[in-house]
Structure 1
Amino acid sequence: MTAVAEPVLRTEYPFVLPRGYVDEQGTVHRNGLLRLATARDELTAHNEPMVRQNAAYLSVFLIMRTVTRLGTLAEVDRFVVEHLFASDLAFLQDLYRRVNQRGHTEAEVACPQCRHEFLVDVAGTP
């Protein structure tokens, strides 16, 4: 009887922001790491007073809790997430959704000229 190897559970996903977070010194931070969310992440975020007052803050708190690295920043806190460019926030929201709901970071795209369909890893490569 041959044992079937279980696939390794991937819990961290590297990414490259489209524009990058610019800190107070003008340094641009683009490479990062997002981990899978836990039930505690979701529950804690839903209990935040700011989220209860404004549901739009839910994604800010979820991203803040699950982005474990962004460039050389010591931590990714609410200030950092609130000061991301809108396109970078949208990118992270999509990445969060992909890894936590679908289990992958790939999107099916088609070439606009030949219509050939293929998969692209939207997380990019740091």
Structure 2
Amino acid sequence: MNHVGHNVAVQITRRDVVKWTDHLLETLSPKTVRDSYLATARAAFSWAVDKIDLKLNPFAGIRVRLTKKLRTREKGFRLDEAQAILKASRAYKGSVKEHPKMTAAKQWCRSWRPIPGARRGDMPVARRGRPT
């Protein structure tokens, strides 16, 4: 741990861990720090407590709180975005090798994308004779 100034596991304190975490949060997202860096260090030190003569795990109990992302706009598409998607889906031309029914299905499926809440996997199943 270059940030601490030494690499002796026994000498690492909770204060060192907090400093290191704060240093990582300056450049990385809280989720990356929590799920990658802290999780790995916590697991390694837990192993050392179990298998080697390390007295305590300085990473135990250290948490990184995730904040909700601020939405800068509403969910879904604006009218101009939806129109652009529909226009592009209607303009789709399949390849020479593609069956005309497949081309039509691709045009039809893509036209559903502007509908709020529509997922890609739901679209092909929503056809005549099947409940949506």
Smaller-chain TM-score range? under 0.3
Say which one has the larger Rg.
2
What TM-score results when the alignment is normalised by the length of structure 2? 0.25
Higher helix content, 1 or 2: 2
Q: Which has the higher strand share?
A: 1
Q: TM-score, normalised by structure 1?
A: 0.26
